[in-house]
Structure 1
């Protein structure tokens, strides 16, 4: 009997001789919302003193995306507390199995812990939900311009903490899209546009605030203007009625100056009439047309990788409404306003 116990002891020692890592899940959320970014922390102890690093491999997980393979690490005594950020993509999910191993000049066996199923909550939001779940969401700037006879386009920039901003999406809008995105595990920034009916005086949407555990509303007042936004966008055509009024005023000024000069016989001052006449000529001159190549992309905004809403089927001439760096603003046959890259013009 003693001999059998001794042999069993030897076998057990041999099995665990190379086990140098002990670790387990330390912090796991009690519940997770579908679409949420959440933290999972593992507590790790190494029995080996001389090693370079502790690394991890993930396997056998479902409904989850691991966002950082390199953990946020805090060392307390001999223990390592390594935190990973995970993104929940499904209403049914399981934490990953995690294998920990040492980076060392010697080879040691790794250690694996099994992941468990998560307690998942699915939100039941209203129709104005933006699909953004975050610790915070802040509107930085916004602009509304005319898109066509029936719609306005609202462009806004926002930042969010602990959020997957590329999930942003709205219902009941004519068009929408992401113009730029700076995704960060802590602070992200997005520039987004929506095309909505002109009848709306406010564009309102909601997001779910994780810290307050409730939906919060974001309201953007619809104020249509002609000023350029940060991207130097000016989507609204010139108001031709204003230009006609200015031309009539210039004509009146020119006639009045001419009458006064002839009446007082001060013909040398006829040069003063040149200025209003020049302005009249400038206003009356037809808008410049620009030649657009076949298969040219018409962009919604003058930004790289911006949304393309139309492609020219053949070469055409469009009215030039303005320009910014590398882009020309044009008016299409359907009165919509778009932006064309300089390289897509015939003269380029």
Structure 2
């Protein structure tokens, strides 16, 4: 009997010395914010000192992180696992957290984080971030009375999907991509054509204050020209330019026939190309009733309206399966191939 007890003690001692069982001390909270704001995206981090090579899995009771997989950072013997969460409740809480490694489970106590509301601010866009920058922006004519501004934004720890500017007649967010703390996306906003700048603010959690962003609205000449060409009958100067080009081409051809100088022919060809490029009548297309009119030619684009009846209109351009058209009251947008009448 004594030999059996001695043998059992040796086995226990061996596994104690040469294996690494998972204890609660092997993983713990590294960072939990003391407070968050409503709709804020924020991190919760865990620190692991386990020497195990197997992947650790996390289960959050009654909660799902914004991104399923953790952001993992290794620093020597320490490994940090960070998840991002978002809340709209007055109290953010996770009842419990179950961590699994090599078939063993650890139960960590849940967390409770108070949620505060930000004070009202007139130009607040609803975005809360630890940093936000405007990568690029572009303004173009949307219709006779409005302009479309597309803003490419990059932010960290941000709820970019909630952005809204009170000046907007229409708006929407597309191409949202979240990688760890970083989020990128394109914000499209339709504003009155007389508005010369766009101002909005976001709340910076690092600086603990509102930060203003200002964008000047300037329509380039190409956009203005494209809009003018939609209604050439309303512009007598366009008619004058058209017939001036025709007259110039005629004179150049006559000079070539008389002088036999190819210089006149080359200039005549260039003038003819300009004439055909800018003054060739645009083709007509038939659009089905109930068709969606998109702001941009992309699958996730915001729908500006639905057509109320079948109609024919000018086709202004084409990109992949989308066609750029002019709707009533000078409204411009994109419709899909499937919305073009077949007969």
TM range (shorter): 0.7 to 0.9
Q: Is the 8 A contact 1:21 1:101 kept in 2?
A: no
Measured in 2, the distance between the counterparts of 1:184 and 1:121 equals 26
Aligned residue for 2:165, secondary structure, equals coil
Q: Is the 8 A contact 1:21 1:100 kept in 2?
A: no
Change (3 A) 1:320 1:71: closer
Residue 76 of structure 1 deviates from its aligned partner by: 5.8
1:27 aligned residue: 31
2:287 aligned residue: 292
Q: Is the 8 A contact 1:164 1:183 kept in 2?
A: no
Measured in 1, the distance between the counterparts of 2:168 and 2:248 equals 48
Change (3 A) 1:310 1:65: same
The answer on 1:83 being equivalent to 2:82 is yes
Change (3 A) 1:246 1:125: same
The answer on 1:129 being equivalent to 2:124 is yes
Change (3 A) 1:282 1:186: closer
Aligned residue for 2:328, secondary structure, equals coil
Measured in 1, the distance between the counterparts of 2:145 and 2:42 equals 42
Aligned residue for 1:334, secondary structure, equals helix
Q: Is the 8 A contact 2:32 2:45 kept in 1?
A: yes
Residue 284 of structure 1 deviates from its aligned partner by: 6.6
What is the Cα-based RMSD across aligned positions, in Å?
Answer: 3.7
Q: 1:122-170: CA deviations, max 9, x gaps?
A: 2114221122222221212212122223222111111112223212122
Q: Which residue of 210, 215, 220 maps to 1:220?
A: 215
Change (3 A) 1:335 1:257: same
Measured in 2, the distance between the counterparts of 1:247 and 1:45 equals 77
1:41 aligned residue: 45
Measured in 2, the distance between the counterparts of 1:178 and 1:126 equals 22
Task: Mark the runs of 5 or more structure 1 residues left unpaired by the alignment.
Answer: 1-18, 229-233
Q: Is the 8 A contact 1:135 1:161 kept in 2?
A: yes
User: Quick check: 174-183 or 219-228, which moved more?
Assistant: 219-228
Q: 1:185-210: CA deviations, max 9, x gaps?
A: 23221111111122311011111222
1:327 aligned residue: 322
Change (3 A) 1:326 1:227: farther
Measured in 2, the distance between the counterparts of 1:148 and 1:170 equals 20
Measured in 2, the distance between the counterparts of 1:94 and 1:226 equals 54
Q: Which residue of 50, 53, 56 maps to 1:54?
A: 56
1:67 aligned residue: 67
Aligned residue for 1:249, secondary structure, equals helix
1:6 aligned residue: none
Q: Is the 8 A contact 1:299 1:307 kept in 2?
A: yes
Q: Is the 8 A contact 1:145 1:235 kept in 2?
A: no
More helix by share: 2
Measured in 2, the distance between the counterparts of 1:282 and 1:35 equals 50
Structure 1 residues 300-311: aligned runs within 5 Å? 300-311=295-306
TM-score normalised to structure 2 length: 0.75
2:171 aligned residue: 176
Q: Is the 8 A contact 2:171 2:302 kept in 1?
A: no
Q: Is the 8 A contact 1:235 1:337 kept in 2?
A: no
Aligned length: 312
Residue 100 of structure 1 deviates from its aligned partner by: 2.3
Task: Mark the runs of 5 or more structure 2 residues left unpaired by the alignment.
Answer: 1-20
Aligned residue for 1:114, secondary structure, equals strand
Measured in 1, the distance between the counterparts of 2:274 and 2:190 equals 36
The answer on 1:94 being equivalent to 2:89 is no
